[in-house]
Chain A
Amino acid sequence: MWRQARWDEDLIQRKPRYGSGPLIPYEDEFRDVSISIPENIIRRSHTGLPDLPEIEVVRHFIRLSQMSYGVDVGPVPLGSCTMKYNPKISDLISMDTRITYLHPLQDPDTVQGILEIIYTVERWLSEITGMDRCSFQPPAGAAGELAGALMILKYHRDRGENRDEMLIPDSAHGTNPASAAMAGFKVIRLPTSSRGTVDLDALRSVVSSKTAGAMLTNPNTLGVFEDEILEISRIVHGSGGLLYYDGANLNGIMGIARPGDMGFDIVHLNLHKTFATPHGGGGPGGGVVCARGSLVDYLPRPLIAYDGRRFYWDYECKKCIGRISAFYGNIIPVIRTFIYIASLSSEGLREVAEVSVINTNYFIKKIMEKPYYILPYDPQKPRKHEVVISAKKILSDTGVSTEDIAKALLDRGLHAPTIYFPLIVEEALMIEFTETETRESIDLYAKALIEIAEEAYRNPGILKKTPENTSVRRLDYVRANHPKTLAPSLKILRSLGENI
């Protein structure tokens, strides 16, 4: 039986105080320099920081890590998140001080190495996506979407057209509508047909001279390839709109098909998904935004450049949307991407896509052997990088919800899939193994899901009490969110008189 560590670990701010902190370099050398700080701006209040010897800091965070779960612990088949193995060579090389100590404003002649890597990766990603140029400015995928939406906005404005509608499928990631809205667009929802793809009639009925563009992912969040993509492209382009590609699901088609060949004008990639950068508990990401043709002019600047002798940043910005983040984006994921592609090469990238598709369809076959879960939208259609199954039959038969199933998986040492997404599938479980899970772990996962379903029919009450083997049992989410008990900081917790 799997058990997660359960330390009764107090908040670090509440630990006993010691000493006066770490050694500060050359501290004594400046004692004789006098400074006068005006009285009214001197800090009198406590900083809220603990005072601990180094060993206690280490123990605290090691204990916290033991109460956490990542891909290095077990499978994390969160659909649309592409939680693959993160190669250890990249972890250690990306800590090289010749990377971490580089100041973004260093003289370009002193950073030729890092610029060479960025230049090379840009060429590779352009090739993989079928785009002409890429900008690394966006620090995450959503920032890439914002960049893309702003590029579309500016493109139309420059042509004197007032197009304020963005078409987005109802199966899309929440970031798509949020990014479009941030750029000022009105979001028009595209329904999904019974085939699991964009409903073409509905698309035809909403495109107009107000259409700025459409934001799609392909394969979509159901794991289904939009096989009418060329027709979608004709319809959107025919109305004068542009096609934006959300790269979150690129993993299943890398080396097999390219967004550029499907008619997309702008693409964003998530280096932290497809290119094996760890998610770090929620970030950092590595967003890249690529474009082709005249859209290249709109990419956020600077772009990397090479004049045959040296690499440099090209700031020229006649039509560009400006800057999305302060410097050049998140560079460490770019270095990890370099290592990843160098290790896999062309045939390896294609193998990534092949195996992730095989893993998905292997799992589908396994889980469909039993009658518990439903595969909505054309079950005959092969899925790509991921699959969405529904537990609505289990819920209506037994009262056990998808959330209960998720918690029961945790009890078996397996991370739950993405649940209740996409919103168009009732009691959705969205599962993506990626290419890095073994056949055994897929078998184990399918077996666990089937066992949980059987348990639901046998003894549903037990599942409502899960998880028991995790660091804490099921939490009180109502209390966490209730205005009277809401406590996002220790300061507020103290003011509530909470005795922790």
Chain B
Amino acid sequence: MYHPWIPNSDPEIKKSMLEYIGKSFEDLVSDIPEEVRLRRPLKVGFGRPLSENEIEILIDKILSKNKVFIDPPSFLGGGVCMHAIPYVVRYLLLRGEIYTAYTPYQAEINQGLMQALFEYQSMLAELYGVDIVNASMYDVSTAVAEAFRMAMRVSKRRGVLVPRIMNPFIENVVRTWIEPVGGFIIRYEITESNSIRIIDSVSEKEVGGIYLENPSFLGEVIEKPEIIGEYARDKKMLFIVNAEPLSLGILKPPGEYGADIIVGNGASLGVGLNYGGPSLGILGIRMDQELLRQLPGRLIGFTREADGSGKGFAMILQTREQHIRRERATSNITTNSALEAFAAAVYLSYIGDKGLRRLGESILRRTAYLRERIESDLRDRAEIASKARLFFREIPVRFLRRDYREISRELIERGIHGGFYIGDLISGIGNTALFCVTEIHSRDHIDLLIRSLREVA
């Protein structure tokens, strides 16, 4: 056969190469024992190689079975929401020199990629109010898992305090990553008198870290995050804050209320939803030698040419990493989300300081508008399932008359994808769904949702 992706599959070329080697192909694989040789064709594909045009038709047919909610955009929340992906980001992402590059092990030939990653690290560090952000994690859940493992290593204690309602998708992953090595999580809540109450019984001596989601899984903006920062300092625990990057144009960055380790979901920074992945996990720390030694993942640092002249960038502190340190590494991560970090760097450069502030404020207003409409127009049908005063992007809505899962199906029949049902994920919250509004939701979109809910809820 000849296939254009395999140039030397041209029978003439292949033959002449084997002649040069002086062996047949069978000679080259003669060391593979006969018992493990596969002597039949693999049962894969569609019987023969398909041309591009055939693939295009096939894929189009399959993808047309997906329903994409763009107008109105879906109102699904749950920690990830639909956002605009600027065309600038999509365009630049496909630059072959970046898109098809490997990890920049050879710094001199990959300066552009490394400068972009350094810019990513720098922008995210300032956005979160910390000093150092690594060059990316797979997604927010694995970033939180690694942050917990870091807290366990640094504090030499196995427990981490988490809020009474924690993002369950993150929690599931964290449990998988920490429990086999003895790690555990315990719940806390902030009381009316602004103190921290540990819900499960545990000795504080076993607790190495305290974790906050801001906004919370329910979209609540935490009004006094500094209380947890003070508590952590007092109890010598590491304070881990997971904050949504798009909120940080208007809300105080975690570093300013005491975070030692910051975590974030970079999916909203031009990365897209991609049915859950690829995504982008943000992980950073305040400057501290011990934290730095324990930080997993790749780091790009500034340097100069060997003769002291021009500026340059290089991967640094690789002795923490698995390819050098092997079983004593801080983590096993090697492939990360560099391309998504590049996308985020482009996105943040495009949106800018002023843009991010306007965007954040606009999302706050939209969330407030959705809340107002629910409270005024759906008074007899639904209520806000939280006492918080301020919500960012997501809002929990408890339905009073009908099962939300039925409501959701009827909305979909009308071309609207409603919020995400969390009744079976969060105990005691009832018949509740998380509704998300972002910059792509217009007033008409929200009004349409409310009108439809009046009819089906």
For A283, give its contact among B176, B301, B340 (CB under 8 Å): B340
Q: When A and B form their complex, what is the total count of cross-chain residue pairs whose Cβ atoms lie within 8 Å?
A: 730
Name the residue in B95, B104, B176 with the highest tally of chain A Cβ atoms < 10 Å from its Cβ.
B176
**Contacting pair A102 B275 (CB below 8 A):** yes
Query: Measured between alpha carbons, how far is A71 from B335 in the docked complex, in Å?
Result: 17
With A439-B8, A489-B122: A472-B111 Cβ-Cβ less than 8 Å:
yes
Q: Mark B343-358, 1 if CB is under 8 A from A, else 0.
A: 0011011111111111
Tell me, yes or no, whether B442 is within 8 Å of chain A by CB: yes
Q: Mark A33-44, 1 if CB is under 8 A from B, else 0.
A: 111111011111
Tell me, yes or no, whether A161 is within 8 Å of chain B by CB: no
Q: Which of B1-44 contact A (CB under 8 A)?
A: 1, 3, 5-9, 13-14, 17-18, 20-23, 25, 27-33, 35-38, 41-44
**Contacting pair A40 B352 (CB below 8 A):** no
With A47-B126, A323-B176, A492-B132: A345-B119 Cβ-Cβ less than 8 Å:
no
Query: Measured between alpha carbons, how far is A284 from B222 in the docked complex, in Å?
Result: 32
Tell me, yes or no, whether B194 is within 8 Å of chain A by CB: no
**Contacting pair A355 B304 (CB below 8 A):** no
Query: Measured between alpha carbons, how far is A282 from B98 in the docked complex, in Å?
Result: 10
For B301, give its contact among A67, A332, A481 (CB under 8 Å): A481
Query: Measured between alpha carbons, how far is A233 from B306 in the docked complex, in Å?
Result: 50
Query: Measured between alpha carbons, how far is A324 from B277 in the docked complex, in Å?
Result: 13
**Contacting pair A9 B115 (CB below 8 A):** yes
**Contacting pair B21 A284 (CB below 8 A):** no
Q: Which residues of B contact A282 (CB under 8 A)?
A: 101-104, 135-136, 298, 335-336, 338-339
CB distance from B124 to the nearest CB of A (A): 8
Q: Which residues of B contact A206 (CB under 8 A)?
A: none
Q: Which residue of A lies closest to B125 (CB)?
A: A489
Q: Which of A306-340 contact B (CB under 8 A)?
A: 321-333, 338-339
Q: Which residue of A lies closest to B73 (CB)?
A: A101
**Contacting pair A100 B274 (CB below 8 A):** yes
For A332, give its contact among B119, B251, B253, B278 (CB under 8 Å): B278
Measured as residues with beta carbon below 8 angstroms from the partner, the interface class of chain B is 35 or more
Name the residue in A141, A258, A481 with the highest tally of chain B Cβ atoms < 10 Å from its Cβ.
A481
Q: Which residues of A contact B101 (CB under 8 A)?
A: 68-71, 76, 279-282
**Contacting pair A22 B350 (CB below 8 A):** yes
Q: Which residues of B contact A323 (CB under 8 A)?
A: 141, 169, 172-173, 176
- How many residues does chain A have at the interface if contact means C-beta atoms less than 8 Å apart? 206
**Contacting pair B41 A255 (CB below 8 A):** yes
Q: Which of A35-57 contact B (CB under 8 A)?
A: 35-38, 40-52, 54, 57
Q: Which residue of B lies closest to A406 (CB)?
A: B106
Tell me, yes or no, whether B202 is within 8 Å of chain A by CB: no
Query: Measured between alpha carbons, how far is A66 from B64 in the docked complex, in Å?
Result: 37
For A471, give its contact among B94, B108, B221, B300 (CB under 8 Å): B108
Tell me, yes or no, whether A341 is within 8 Å of chain B by CB: yes
Name the residue in A9, A35, A110, A487 with the highest tally of chain B Cβ atoms < 10 Å from its Cβ.
A35
CB distance from A478 to the nearest CB of B (A): 9
Q: Which residues of A contact B345 (CB under 8 A)?
A: 12, 61
Q: Which residue of B lies closest to A183 (CB)?
A: B180
For B349, give its contact among A29, A52, A285, A487 (CB under 8 Å): A52
**Contacting pair B279 A500 (CB below 8 A):** no
Query: Measured between alpha carbons, how far is A91 from B142 in the docked complex, in Å?
Result: 26
Q: Which residue of B lies closest to A85 (CB)?
A: B5
Tell me, yes or no, whether B55 is within 8 Å of chain A by CB: yes
For A142, give its contact among B250, B277, B322, B362 (CB under 8 Å): B322
Stretch from A237-245, A394-402, A414-422, A451-459 contacting the other chain:
A414-422
Q: Which of A461-479 contact B (CB under 8 A)?
A: 467, 470-477, 479
Query: Measured between alpha carbons, how far is A276 from B340 in the docked complex, in Å?
Result: 18
Name the residue in A323, A406, A438 with the highest tally of chain B Cβ atoms < 10 Å from its Cβ.
A323
Q: Which residues of A contact B250 (CB under 8 A)?
A: 37, 42-43
With A49-B351, A113-B66, A325-B173: A57-B358 Cβ-Cβ less than 8 Å:
no
With A351-B1, A358-B28: A345-B169 Cβ-Cβ less than 8 Å:
no
**Contacting pair B368 A34 (CB below 8 A):** yes
With A140-B336, A346-B44: A325-B127 Cβ-Cβ less than 8 Å:
no
CB distance from B183 to the nearest CB of A (A): 10
Q: Which of B282-322 contact A (CB under 8 A)?
A: 287, 289, 298-312, 314, 316-317, 321-322
**Contacting pair B119 A13 (CB below 8 A):** yes
**Contacting pair A21 B108 (CB below 8 A):** no
With A349-B44, A421-B323, A472-B312: A104-B109 Cβ-Cβ less than 8 Å:
no
**Contacting pair A279 B103 (CB below 8 A):** yes
Query: Measured between alpha carbons, how far is A356 from B229 in the docked complex, in Å?
Result: 56
Query: Measured between alpha carbons, how far is A493 from B27 in the docked complex, in Å?
Result: 57
Tell me, yes or no, whether A179 is within 8 Å of chain B by CB: yes
**Contacting pair A492 B111 (CB below 8 A):** no
Q: Which of A63-103 contact B (CB under 8 A)?
A: 63-73, 76, 78, 81, 83, 85-87, 89, 91, 93, 95-103
Tell me, yes or no, whether A200 is within 8 Å of chain B by CB: no
For A491, give its contact among B103, B122, B408 (CB under 8 Å): B122
**Contacting pair B272 A357 (CB below 8 A):** no
Tell me, yes or no, whether B452 is within 8 Å of chain A by CB: no
Sampled A-B contacts (16; CB under 8 Å)? A35-B364, A65-B92, A70-B96, A71-B101, A105-B78, A106-B69, A110-B67, A175-B322, A272-B335, A280-B338, A349-B44, A358-B17, A382-B31, A471-B112, A473-B306, A487-B302
Closest 4 CB pairs of A and B: A21-B355, A48-B126, A280-B339, A72-B96
